[in-house]
Structure 1
Amino acid sequence: MRIDVLTLFPEMFTGVFGSSILKKAAEKESVSYHLTNFRDFSANKHKTVDDYPYGGGAGMVLKPQPIFDAVSHVRKESVESRVILLCPQGERFNQRKAEELAKEDHLIFICGHYEGYDERIREQIVTDEISIGDFVLTGGELAAMVIIDSVVRLLPGVLGNEHSALEDSFSTGLLEHPHYTRPADFRGMKVPDILLSGNHSKIEEWRLNESLKRTKDRRPDLYENYINAQKEKNRTE
């Protein structure tokens, strides 16, 4: 997978792309990262990328020309690209979206600043508008980092255990079950006996029940969706 990030602050990504799983994924050549400062594509002699909004109002708006030209430049090697606009007005990001994007060969992220984007950017070059939550950030860089991290870890061969991503919270529709490791007794707090039994079918049953219980308590919306999906599945079988 190739990932291009269009940003006014490429230095923000250096530590993220050079650490942990994202670094290992690049070393395994599962992904390549490319940072582009779209200010470099400004046709204005002062290299400005924003201007006042028509009709008045607070804040500045990103101009279309630098972003159009920057996207055209990074698309040269891959015409079939998903162009993702980080925006609080976008689709709420979730695990299903991460799984969808992980199947792509080329992702382009546009990180905005200021008051917003010229609408022609949305209309002509963007394939996806994504928000990571109902709040506003200074810019799109942190949102891009979150999405890239969640996508790259799903690429084949990136995680040491291929089953890890399949069992993550949200991948199954439920929150993940509790985990324990050694020692079995830590300051009087003991690991559930079932996990020490060696009975794998009983362990899987316990984990499912714990996932159901945790999801019902913490995310009743997910629990209801899961139960309804199971009912629908049983009706069609």
Structure 2
Amino acid sequence: MSDAARSHGRKSISATLAPRELMTDRPLLARAWTAQVITLLPEAFPGLLGESLTGKALKDGLWQIDAIDLRRFGIGRHRNVDDTPAGGGAGMVLRPDVVGAAIDEARRRRGELPLVYLSPRGARFDQGIARRLAAAPGVTLLCGRFEGVDQRVLDHYGIEELSLGDFVLTGGELAAQAVIDACVRLRPGVLGNAASTEEESFSAGLLEHPQYTRPAEWQGRPIPDVLMSGHHARIADWRREEAEAVTRARRPDLWAAYRARALRE
């Protein structure tokens, strides 16, 4: 058998040097969207992703998780994965030879999926990036720990760096789960209603309009009359106006981009 994965029905079979106990407990599916995660905490996955709609989609084979334990590729008897920063300083840095070996294993399993490192210095992750990654066969997410990853491995593999925002986490695992969730819910069949993703926040460059449901009045606060009118055109206009108002008030950056796009069109 060659090193390249061969497809037999839904299952993907490939040769491996990994002991059986180190492999995932379920075979990889050949055509399912794949979230590969290179992490020192493989037991953290699927975590919350195994619940609710993403969990159901996982069980139904609409997507799959492939957690790769970075410790397996560690150096020496103690499988060390990090070392002190060159030039001195606090903390430890993940070694490029260790991370590189894990990336090579990830590519051997699933080919060259988009490769992302979760990092506070990365570009801001947004709905547009989620759509791009969701449209790919999957994504390989590298979760940093300690002071981060040796720059050489990022340069060698041309790794894209993404950030959830201007704050620092203790590791990339929580950020990876957020990225996976944002992508999986965009995959066909996961939400069950394509309109749900078309009408939500950021789909048109705006924050979402306010939502209401029964009872018709609560604590003296009624549902806006227009939403009870049954007039779909008026409801659509109201929702667009409300989305514009909340975006203008809360996210001037999004509002400026929305207005600029409208002027170009």
In structure 2, the residue matched to 1:160 is 192
| Contact 1:80-1:106 at 8 Å conserved across structures | no
RMSD between aligned alpha carbons? 1.3
In structure 2, the residue matched to 1:46 is 78
In structure 1, the residue matched to 2:22 is none
Choose between structure 1 and 2 for higher RCO, CA contacts under 8 A separated by at least 6 residues: 1
Query: Where do residues 121-132 of structure 1 align in structure 2 (5 Å cutoff)?
Result: 121-132=153-164
**What letter corresponds to residue 186 of structure 2 in structure 1?**
L
Cα deviation 1:107-148 (Å, max 9, x = unaligned): 111111111211111011243111111111111111111111
Q: How many residues align?
A: 233
* TM-score with structure 2 setting the length: 0.84
Distance 2:78 2:219 in 1: 64
**What letter corresponds to residue 246 of structure 2 in structure 1?**
R
In structure 2, the residue matched to 1:203 is 235
Task: Give 4+ residue runs of structure 1 displaced > 4 Å after superposition.
Answer: none
Cα deviation 1:44-67 (Å, max 9, x = unaligned): 222000001222111111001221
What is the aligned-residue identity percentage? Answer: 45
Unaligned runs of 5+ residues in structure 1 are: none
1:74 shift after superposition: 1.9
* Partner residue of 2:41 out of 9, 13, 16: 9
| Contact 1:85-1:126 at 8 Å conserved across structures | no
In structure 1, the residue matched to 2:167 is 135
Distance 2:160 2:115 in 1: 6
Q: Secondary structure at the match of 1:3?
A: strand
Q: Secondary structure at the match of 2:234?
A: helix
Cα deviation 1:206-233 (Å, max 9, x = unaligned): 1111111111111122112111211110
* Partner residue of 1:148 out of 170, 173, 180: 180
In structure 2, the residue matched to 1:212 is 244
1:179 shift after superposition: 0.8
Distance 2:138 2:154 in 1: 18
Distance 1:98 1:58 in 2: 34
Distance 1:6 1:80 in 2: 14
Distance 1:194 1:167 in 2: 18
Q: Secondary structure at the match of 1:164?
A: helix
Cα deviation 1:142-191 (Å, max 9, x = unaligned): 11111111111011110021111111111111111111111112232111
Does 1:85 pair with 2:117? yes
Distance 2:67 2:61 in 1: 17
In structure 1, the residue matched to 2:55 is 23
Distance 2:82 2:101 in 1: 15
Does 1:36 pair with 2:65? no
